[in-house]
Amino acid sequence: MEFCWNYVRRLESREMQDMVRIFAYSTWVMMISMAMILTSNLFFSQVAAPGWQGWLILLIVGALYLNLIYSGVWRFIRKVPAPTNQYVLVAVFALLPALGWIHFFSAAAEGGEWKLSAVLLLAAGIGLRLGHPAGVKARYEYVQKIKERFAEEG
């Protein structure tokens, strides 16, 4: 019985650490996402216009969000103690302000909302797909570095 309670306590503390980590990473990702969407809002009127400018703006916005989600997922996975699927929440919290702004507040995005949404969702998918393996690799290297340090000290 003692073993069961110790296991439950360890599990609860790990879940609590993950929730704290999710909160921390999701807040900084949301803040950067809001700043990016507010500064790029001026250019959204060009998205619906025919020509190469709209495609260029879509490409730039997509690259910015891909990089944001990639780095958020990479940083989250690097420090998480055990494998988890909660890194998807980092991408969701990065997309919430952007999609909300585009669909509910931005008058400049009229006519191009669905293009912008599609580009953001595609960027999020690619960022998740590339960020997770990079984060796993970084976590492995991080754990190896800690083991080496403990071996030298111990």
**How many Å apart are CA 106 and CA 47, to the nearest integer?**
13
Q: What's the whole-number mean pLDDT along residues 136-153?
A: 88
pLDDT at 113: 83
Query: How do the domains of the chain map onto residue ranges?
Result: 2-153
pTM for the predicted model, two decimal places: 0.81
- Other CB atoms within 10 Å distance of the CB of residue 9: 10
Q: What's the whole-number mean pLDDT along residues 32-48?
A: 84
pLDDT at 11: 47
pLDDT at 137: 93
Q: What's the whole-number mean pLDDT along residues 39-58?
A: 83
Rounded mean pLDDT of the chain? 84
What are 94-137's pLDDT values in tens digits?
Answer: 999 989 888 888 777 777 788 889 999 999 999 999 999 999 99
88 against 7, higher pLDDT = 88
What are 59-87's pLDDT values in tens digits?
Answer: 999 999 999 999 999 999 888 877 888 88
Nearest CA among 67, 64, 45, 41 for reference residue 54: 45
pLDDT surpasses 90 at 16 = no
Q: What's the whole-number mean pLDDT along residues 90-96?
A: 91
pLDDT at 15: 61
pLDDT surpasses 50 at 152 = yes
Alpha-carbon distances of 78 from 130, 133, 147, rounded to whole Å:
13, 10, 15
pLDDT at 25: 86
